[in-house]
A and B are shown apart, each in its own frame.
Chain A
Amino acid sequence: DQQVKQNSPSLSVQEGRISILNCDYTNSMFDYFLWYKKYPAEGPTFLISISSIKDKNEDGRFTVFLNKSAKHLSLHIVPSQPGDSAVYFCAASAHTSGTYKYIFGTGTRLKVLA
């Protein structure tokens, strides 16, 4: 049972426009959410995070929104740049059985067209 879902496997956006990547989760115990970017043959790179006590966090061109009632978060990239083309993973963490676990979605491949 997948607790973190990214239902769009791919997304294409024109350079300069907004990219919106979505993520849904099922476990209400998740209290911290993260977004990662991954290029081929590299490990995931941390982008931005948000605690469950907030509904928005912004860092430069990246903004993450959290809707706890809908168990939904999204990553907005404005303006999108060709270098943003990568796979984006959302992750959620919860404290269970004495440890913090980070559960990842399947990823969304973003292509920013020049």
Chain B
Amino acid sequence: ETGVTQTPRHLVMGMTNKKSLKCEQHLGHNAMYWYKQSAKKPLELMFVYNFKEQTENNSVPSRFSPECPNSSHLFLHLHTLQPEDSALYLCASSQAGQGNTIYFGEGSWLTVV
């Protein structure tokens, strides 16, 4: 069982839908991340939360809205997405600070139709 759990694993949504991706980490970490992986592109950092506070927004469009209610949970709210937003969305966590390993969930495959 992975220490970082993501749901749903697969999501198909229309461009006018509102949906959310959920992430939960059981590792006692205090930093959480959203990454996007598109075909033939590097993993793109989207958001970083340290101790529930957003410390990084990597120029992500506002149709992606993160929420971090506590250090164990992270959400990505999705609204009026575009087909090019179809990708694998990966949640990760780590201890905040230098020299710490980041651990990933299994990812949520998103298809926007």
A: residues with CB less than 8 A from B are 2, 4, 31-32, 34, 36, 41-46, 49, 51, 89, 91, 93, 95, 97-107
Contacts and interface: CB of A to CB of B under 8 A. Distances in A.
A2 B45 CA distance: 12
Contacts of A34: 101-102
Contacts of B41: 106
Interface residues of B, number: 31
A32 B102 CA distance: 11
Interface of B: 2, 4, 6, 31, 33, 35, 40-43, 45, 48, 50, 55-56, 90, 92, 94, 96-107, 109
A84 to B, nearest CB: 19
Contacts of A97: 55-56
Nearest to B56: A99
Given A43-B105, A44-B104, A99-B55, A89 B43 contact: yes
17 contacts: A31-B99, A32-B100, A34-B101, A36-B104, A41-B107, A42-B107, A43-B6, A44-B90, A89-B43, A93-B102, A97-B56, A99-B48, A100-B94, A102-B94, A103-B42, A104-B42, A107-B42
Contacts of A43: 2, 4, 6, 90, 92, 104-107
Given A43-B4, A89-B43, A107-B42, A102 B102 contact: yes
A42 B108 CA distance: 9
Contacts of A31: 98-99
Contacts of B4: 43
Given A31-B99, A43-B4, A99-B96, 16 more contacts: A32-B99, A34-B101, A34-B102, A36-B104, A43-B6, A43-B106, A46-B103, A51-B99, A93-B102, A95-B98, A97-B56, A100-B31, A100-B100, A101-B56, A104-B42, A106-B41
